[in-house]
A and B are shown apart, each in its own frame.
Chain A
């Protein structure tokens, strides 16, 4: 089993990166790998509660983050500085996460076998 990290740094909907990342995460989990998801910069916006996409005619994929647990993807990490710069706290997020500082995040990255960036 390899350690895979997915680094999410883009807001949802404005570009397709967030959705593409989620799809690759689900595929990787199917192959029974050790998967971690990291949310940095605008990536933290992917996890904001209460997304209502009817008005823009795009599928709201945010509930899928709650389904990750069912695929044994339970390692979700969020960068503290990215949250604060955006006026967000853990209470604004739709899934339980571990909030890390930059040093802890850097150490976690260094422990991985594969890092994929979106």
Chain B
């Protein structure tokens, strides 16, 4: 299944709850303020790196570009554009947009 998170991990517990429940092989797409979780050197970097070993982790590039942090992307997180976002929702029979 596909998990979609759009909140900053520093502001809400959304990403934390999602990572607790996501199962090996699931996909995680970070959008809007959740893309801050996909950047290096933060208090969340290690946890997201670990998640990359278990899940396929994606970040929406237009949201990273808007926030000026595309260059700080964690290795192991894949960038997608809006077309890629649509493809992910089609590939996975179940999606959960964690709000």
Q: CB within 8 A of B66: which of A49, A53, A87, A88?
A: A53
Write out the residue numbers on chain B whose beta carbons fall within 8 Å of the beta carbon of A45. Answer: 36, 67
A58-B11 in contact (CB<8A) = no
Which residue of the partner chain A has the closest CB to B62? A55
* Range class of the A interface residue count: 20 to 34
Main secondary structure of the interface of A (DSSP, over half): loop
Tell me how far the C-beta of A109 lies from the nearest C-beta in chain B, rounded to whole angstroms.
Answer: 20
| Bound form: Cα–Cα A43–B32 in Å | 15
Instruction: Flag if A55 contacts B65 (CB, 8 Å).
Output: yes
Number of A-B contacts (CB under 8 A): 73
**CB neighbours of A88 from chain B (8 A):** 41
A87 lies within 8 A of B40 (CB): yes
8 Å CB interface, B23-78 against A: 32-33, 36, 39-43, 45, 61-63, 65-69, 71-72
Task: Give the A-binding residues of B (Cβ under 8 A).
Answer: 6-8, 10-11, 32-33, 36, 39-43, 45, 61-63, 65-69, 71-72, 81
Residues in A lying within 8 Å of B, measured CB to CB: 10-15, 41-42, 45, 48-56, 58, 60, 62, 85-88
